[in-house]
A = this chain, B = another copy of it.
Amino acid sequence: MRIAHVAPVATSIPPPKSGSVETMTSLLTDGLVARGHDVTLFATGDSRTTAKLAGVYPCGYWHDPNMWPWELYEMLNIATAVERGGEFDIIHYEAGYYPMSLAFARLSRTPIVQTIHHSPSAAEIKLWARYPEAPFVAISNEQARLLEGLNVIATVLHGIDTDNFTYREKPDDYLLFLGRFTEGKGVLQAIQVAKRLDMRLILAAAEDEYYHEHIAPHVDGRRIVYYGEADFDAKVALYGGARALLYPIQAREPFGLVLAEAMACGTPVAALDKGAVREVVDDGITGMVFDDLEQMVDGLTRVFRLPRSRVREQAVARFGVPRMVDGYLAAYEKVLEAHRARTA
């Protein structure tokens, strides 16, 4: 299949440090190439890929303050793919922010399918539903439920690079919080859990205003430790050494990439029951899902006892790249079939 994979152009593919959209885009691109497909990745020129790279800009707009307004850079990136539509059977757009490709849905001769990476509001859905025929892929059933009135052709959970999330049999003696410092991610709740159990908690995320205002006062470098933002290798080391990943999520999120990543290192997760958590965590196998913080505090020792080899095994089966590639190939086939039926 001749596939144009259109990435956001904020930063490189894969991203220098973290970024779920960029990471997933990279894995899917290279996974499709490994299956023998002819993939062209529309991304920044400093991206690394086994696909053909269409580097519309030398670098991403996160790295060049002159690249403003960023929206026009995104628009002209997807436009370039649509202009070259004749070279592709399908265009897959990774709408990092919002489905700009809708604007091309009826102008492109090549069908466009788009993955949504956030939880859209009712108003967003109402707008997008002006294009009821445009095919979407959801990243969880939790998210798919929000996409009512749209043409959701598949739900494909994210895959992760399970080969490089190295399994570790014996962890150190700490808990881990990894993610952005926001209220929705529940970092304060994670601190509360660690304090209640008098356990060491390592916080790994980029330093920001929220950190200085809300987190720093708790950081004592002994029980509550601030690591900083972890790059890939550091993340793997941090996951592997943790007895459990704390995920006391407060917002309804459409996925939870850190859950899958921790599991791949053999680390079980302790999560609150919000958003897509139950789709990602196999309760009692790869971690435990709790109704509230009290339950989490009480149940954490049971999480520690989950066999780490079994956690890893299940993570590879469920979040390995092959499963994601299968899911997207099936979705592409579905889009092409509908396209053929329409144009026949």
Q: Which residues does A use to contact B, with CB under 8 Å?
A: 66-69, 71-73, 75-76, 78-79, 82-83, 97-100, 102-104, 106-108, 121-123, 127, 130
Contact = CB atoms under 8 A, between A and B. Distances in A.
B79 A103 contact: yes
Contact of A121 (B66, B75, B104): B66
A107 B106 contact: no
A83 B104 CA distance: 9
A130 B73 CA distance: 11
How many copies make up the complex?
A: 2
B121 A76 contact: no
B127 A100 contact: no
A75 B103 contact: yes
Contact of A79 (B76, B107, B122): B107
20 contacts: A66-B121, A66-B123, A67-B123, A67-B127, A69-B97, A71-B71, A72-B98, A72-B99, A72-B103, A75-B102, A75-B103, A76-B102, A76-B103, A76-B130, A79-B103, A82-B107, A103-B103, A104-B107, A107-B107, A107-B108
Nearest to A100: B75
Query: Is chain A's binding surface mostly helix, strand, loop or mixed?
Result: helix
A102 B72 contact: yes
A313 B164 CA distance: 77
Contacts of A104: 79, 103, 107
A67 B130 CA distance: 14
Contacts of A127: 67, 72-73, 76
A107 to B, nearest CB: 5
Contacts of A82: 107
* 3 A-B pairs closest in CB distance: A66-B123, A79-B103, A75-B103
Given A66-B123, A72-B102, A79-B102, 13 more contacts: A69-B97, A72-B99, A73-B127, A75-B100, A75-B102, A76-B127, A78-B103, A79-B106, A79-B107, A103-B104, A104-B107, A107-B107, A107-B108
A99 B79 CA distance: 13
A72 B68 CA distance: 16
A68 to B, nearest CB: 7
A78 B72 CA distance: 14
Contacts of A73: 127
Nearest to A64: B123
A255 B130 CA distance: 37
A67 to B, nearest CB: 7
Given A76-B130, A100-B75, A83 B69 contact: no
Contacts of A69: 97-98
